[in-house]
Amino acid sequence: MFEWAPLGSARNVCIFHPDHRFSKQTCIEAQDLAGETIVDIDPQFAAHQMNFNALRFAGVEPDILVEFDCNGHEAGYVSAGLGISITNEIIAREYAAFQLGVRPVEPSALYHYVAIWQRGRTFSNALNVSLEAIITAFSKTPTREQQFLQTSS
Is residue 57 pLDDT above 90, yes or no? no
Mean pLDDT value of segment 23-27: 94
Q: Of 115, 113, 70, 66, nearest to 90 (Cα)? A: 113
Residue ranges of alpha helices (H) inside the chain are 46-57, 73-79, 89-93, 125-139, 144-152
pLDDT level of residue 27 (50, 70, 90 thresholds): very high
Q: Which of 72-76, 101-105, 123-127 has maximum average pLDDT? A: 101-105
Taking CA 17 as the corner, what is the angle to CA 27 and CA 12, rounded to the nearest 5 degrees? Answer: 40
pLDDT over 90 percentage in the chain: 24
Sign of the C-alpha dihedral, residues 110, 114, 119, 120?
negative
pTM of the model as a whole:
0.76
Mean pLDDT value of segment 112-125: 86
